[in-house]
Structure 1
C-alpha cells in the first residue's frame, strides 16, 4: 500500500508554489522526496523554502532534472518511487498568442509522467488539477451556481477559449483515461485561486493579484470573484489523499467561499490602510471589449456576469478539518509579499 512513512514520493515541478508546500509537508511527516525541475538553477529557492517548511530534513530531499516536454530523465526519476504527486504545470499571466505554450506541457506532460510511472511499476498518482476542469462550459452566464466534483468542464460549450482551462481539462481527461486503462490509482485535487504564504521570493502568478492591489498597480478591479484556496490546504489535501487509499478514483475540490475582487480589496484595505488599494471597478462591457484584444482580461472573461461557488465538503472530509478562511489566505499572501520585499510601500493617494 502507498503512503508509508519513509516511502519515496516523486513531486513534479518542485520549484512551484504548491509543490514546495507539498514537499515541505511530506518531509515533515518523514517521507523521502524526489523533486523534478526543468531548471536546476531554481534549486536555491527550493532549499530556502525547505529551511522554513521542513528544517533539518534536506537529507531526505533529492532534486533531479526532467522536462514535461522531453522523455529524458523521467524513467530514472521514477526509480524506487512509491507514488507520484504530479503538481507541475505552466501558468502565464496573459493569454498566449500560441495556446500550445500552455496546453502542450499540461497534456503531453501529464501523459509523459503517467507513462513513465506505469513503466516503472508505480501505480499511485495524486494530480493537481483545478476548478478550471469543473466549472466551465455549462451555460452559466449570469447569476449564482454551485459546482461539485460531479461537474466536468465542457470545452466545446465555453463562451471564449482559455488556454489554461483547455490544457488542464484535457490533461485531466487524459489522466483518467490512462488510469482506467492501466490499473492506476489516481486522485485529482482541484484548487481555485491559490493564495497563502510564500516561502521564498519566487512566488506564483496568483499572488500578483494581492500584490497589484497593495502597490496600487491595479487601478480598477473587474467585477468578478473566485474561490480562494490556501496553498497550505492544497498541499495538505495532496498528502491526505496519499495517506488515504480510499481517495483513489476520486476528485476533490479544495476551495473556500466565493470572494469578489472587491472583497479581497476590502480585506487588504482594512489590514493595510496606508497602501493605495483602489476602490474603482471596471464595468462589464469594458471588460468584454478588452477581452477581444487578448491579454489578461481574456483569461477571466468567462467569469464575467456569473458567480461560481464550489462545494468543498468532500475535500474537507478527506482533510479532516475545515479549510483556511479566504481572509487567512489573503493576509498571509500579503505578509509574504511584504516580507520578501516584493511590494514597495507607498502612501495612500
Structure 2
C-alpha cells in the first residue's frame, strides 16, 4: 500500500482527495496547522471513505515553518501539495497570501526532495493561466499552454501573484532536481461540502440562498466540481503520462446569473436575487479593495478554459456546473450554513 502525503488536509479539496485516496486503497498522511480543524477531517473521512480511517494519519506542519516536515515526508511515496491560503478580501499586505504560496511550495518540494520523493502533484488554480494576457474585453479561450503573465496585469491580485509565482517555482525546482511534477488547475470549486468548514467558493451559493448577496457582478467563471478535482489528482498519480504536464479541470463557462437561476428554480422559497451590478460600479468599488478587488480582472471579459485535456486524463466527462451548484446548495443547507427565508 503506497503512502501519499496530502498537504493542507483540512481544505475543501483535500478532504475529498483524502477520501478518494483512502477508498482507492492508499495510505494517507495529511498535514494540518494546529488541531482545531482535525475533527472536521475525521468526520469527512467517515462519510467519504467509511471503514478506511485506519489508513489516515494527521501530522502538524505549517507552510511557514520548518518544523514537522521531515517527519511528514518519512516513508512517503508521493506528495500531493493542495494546501493554500485563501482570503475573502484582498489583503492590505499581499505577503499574507503570497508568502505561504511561494515559500510554502518551495518548502514542501525541498523537504520532499531531501526525503528522496520524486513524485509530486500540485493544485494550481486557473489564476495561474488566464491573466496578464491583455484580455480586457470579449471572449478568449485558454488552455494549459497559457501561463499568467504577472507583468502584464493591470490590476494586482495577491492570490494570483502568489499561486503563479509558486507554480513557476515548482516547475523550476522539478526541472533542476529531476522531480516528476504534475499540476492540476481547477476553476471556481463547488460541489458537496463534507462539514461546516468549507470553501470560500461556496460563498457564492450560500450568499444567494440566504439573501446576503443582494446583487451579482456581471461576470462568469469556469466551475469545477470538487469531486472531479480530487479524482483528477488521483488519476494523475495513477497515470505516468501525466508527469511533466499541466491539466485544466474546468467545465464550461457559467455566468454568475446562471448560478442564481439554477438556485432559484431549485429553491423557490429562498431569497435568491437575479439583480446584477453595473460594471462601472464594480470598478469604482474595487478602488477601495475588499472582495470586489479579487474579481476586477474578470469584469468586462469572458475567460473560457478548455478542459478537454483534463477530461481525457480523468477518463470521463466532468460533472455539469448545475450538478456542482446544486450539490453545494444541498450540503450547505443540510449543514446549517443557510437558513430559510424568514427562519
TM-score by length of 2: 0.99
Cα separation, 2, equivalents of 1:199 and 1:219: 27
Cα separation, 1, equivalents of 2:36 and 2:135: 43
Could you tell me which residue of structure 2 aligns to residue 117 of structure 1?
A: 112
Q: How does 1:120-131 map to 2 (within 5 A)?
A: 120-131=115-126
Could you tell me which residue of structure 1 aligns to residue 306 of structure 2?
A: 311
The reply on whether 1:324 has 2:319 as its aligned counterpart is yes
SS at match of 2:130: coil
Give the alignment partner of residue 26 of structure 1, picking from 21, 26, 31. 21
Could you tell me which residue of structure 1 aligns to residue 220 of structure 2?
A: 225
Q: Offset at 1:201?
A: 1.0
**Cα deviations across residues 194-239 of structure 1 (Å, max 9, x unaligned)?**
0000111111100011000000000110000000000000000000
Could you tell me which residue of structure 2 aligns to residue 63 of structure 1?
A: 58
Could you tell me which residue of structure 1 aligns to residue 187 of structure 2?
A: 192
Unaligned runs of 5+ in 2: none
Could you tell me which residue of structure 2 aligns to residue 212 of structure 1?
A: 207
The reply on whether 1:74 has 2:69 as its aligned counterpart is yes
Give the alignment partner of residue 142 of structure 2, picking from 147, 150, 167. 147
The reply on whether 1:169 has 2:164 as its aligned counterpart is yes
Aligned pair count reads: 343
Cα separation, 2, equivalents of 1:344 and 1:275: 9
Cα separation, 2, equivalents of 1:159 and 1:209: 25
The reply on whether 1:259 has 2:254 as its aligned counterpart is yes
Unaligned runs of 5+ in 1: 1-5
Cα separation, 2, equivalents of 1:130 and 1:338: 27
- C-alpha RMSD of the superposition: 0.8
Cα separation, 1, equivalents of 2:196 and 2:291: 23
**Cα deviations across residues 35-59 of structure 1 (Å, max 9, x unaligned)?**
0001222110000001110011111
Give the alignment partner of residue 294 of structure 1, picking from 289, 301, 311. 289
The reply on whether 1:136 has 2:131 as its aligned counterpart is yes
Could you tell me which residue of structure 1 aligns to residue 93 of structure 2?
A: 98
Q: Offset at 1:347?
A: 5.3
TM-score by length of 1: 0.98
